[in-house]
Amino acid sequence: MKNSKPKVTIIGAGNVGSTFAFALMIRGIAREIVIVDRNAEKAKGECMDLNHGMSFTHPTEVYSAGYEGCKESDIVVITAGAKQKPGQTRIDLVRTNADIFKEIIPEVLKYAKDVIIIVVTNPVDILAYVTMKISGLPSNKVIGSGTVLDTSRFRYLISQHCEVDPRNVHAYIIGEHGDTELPVWSNASIGGMQINKYCPTCKNFSHCKREKELGKLFEEVKNAAYKIIETKGATYYAIALALVRIVETILRDENSVLPVSTLIEDYYDVDDVYLSLPSKVNKNGVEQFLRIELSENERELFRRSADSLKDIIKGIKL
């Protein structure tokens, strides 16, 4: 890290940005948190509210600023952009948010040339790719939040179905953070047992239609954001926790494996696109993505996910 006191700057003081700042402050892994928003009063108000709870948390300096607040940041997290509305897909946001990023990224780099950027705004995979191209930063330093949240949803729902602690479920959602994402059932396990071998040990096995139930479970994962947006307008608690986990493994140089969105090269015929795969993350960003073995069907779905995003990227002027 550049500083003995790790610094994280958050671009965007909306639901996701402010909730992330709250979760990050409680976790105590950053000693300096800056919130930047075009609505300076909103950013100032969020910081005041956070600071009034400082006596209950770890010592942290929290304040609002313009883009100059990015100076000497270890990590800049971008949550700003048009938000997803009910009935709208993440891809529907691409042109609007790509234009917003063309304004944000140069401003960030005026003050923070050697920084790790985490992109959260949707469509996250496309915007992470756009960020890499605009910034000129090496791909390991531009990270999309990817399917870290989707994977958490996946593990939670498997744990509920199988009646086990979600921390003992090891399974990943990969590909796009969106409609073409896919579950890696071929590598899913519970307590060290592949899921297809664990199922016969489950007390519900005799009346569980396994393939149908697991298919419904994945559909619930894929459509979770749409349902939450319909009911409360936005998702922000779980993604805030997912972001804290990503930031934590960077600041603490943990070498943790997380399914972040990163530049994919030479993997099952997929090249030059940001998608999520389990990746080793440390103080340098993404050290490498893991070339996990996929079933033939999973390979085909992964390629389709890549192709769908690359078709959209072609229409963006970079």
pLDDT tens for residues 48-85? 999 999 999 999 999 999 999 999 999 999 999 887 77
Dump pLDDT digits (tens) for 211-249: 677 888 899 999 998 899 899 988 999 999 999 999 999
Contact (CB, 8 A) for 70 and 101: no
Which two tokens mark 60?
Answer: 């942290």
Phi, psi of 314 (to 5 degrees): -60, -25
Instruction: Report H helices in the chain.
Output: 15-27, 40-51, 94-111, 124-135, 148-162, 195-198, 210-222, 224-232, 237-251, 296-313
Which two tokens mark 106?
Answer: 């140069």
Cα(20)–Cα(259) distance, rounded to whole angstroms?
Answer: 19
Which two tokens mark 240?
Answer: 């805030």
Cα(73)–Cα(6) distance, rounded to whole angstroms?
Answer: 8
304 vs 316 pLDDT, higher one: 304
Which two tokens mark 111?
Answer: 């003050």
**Which of the following is catalytic: 52, 58, 170, 177?**
177
Dump pLDDT digits (tens) for 3-16: 678 999 999 999 99
Contact (CB, 8 A) for 60 and 33: yes
The candidate with the shortest Cα–Cα distance to 173, out of 49, 100, 98, 258, is: 258
Residue whose tokens read 């080793």: 280
170 noted as active-site residue? no
Find the range with the poorest average confidence among 52-61, 92-101, 271-280: 92-101
For residue 170, how many C-alpha atoms fall within 13 Å in the half-sphere facing its CB? 13
What does pLDDT average to over the chain? 93
pLDDT band at 260; cut points 50, 70, 90: very high
The candidate with the shortest Cα–Cα distance to 85, out of 223, 234, 237, is: 234
Q: Would you say residue 299 has pLDDT above 90?
A: yes
Cα(227)–Cα(249) distance, rounded to whole angstroms?
Answer: 30
Beta strand 193-194 pairing with 75-78: unpaired
The candidate with the shortest Cα–Cα distance to 246, out of 237, 258, 255, is: 258
pTM of the prediction? 0.94
Phi, psi of 19 (to 5 degrees): -70, -35
Angle subtended at Cα 64 by Cα 59 and Cα 69, rounded to the nearest 5 degrees: 95
Contact (CB, 8 A) for 62 and 25: yes
Percent helix, strand, coil in the chain, to 5, is 50, 20, 35
The arithmetic mean of pLDDT across residues 274-281, rounded, is: 98
Phi, psi of 126 (to 5 degrees): -70, -40
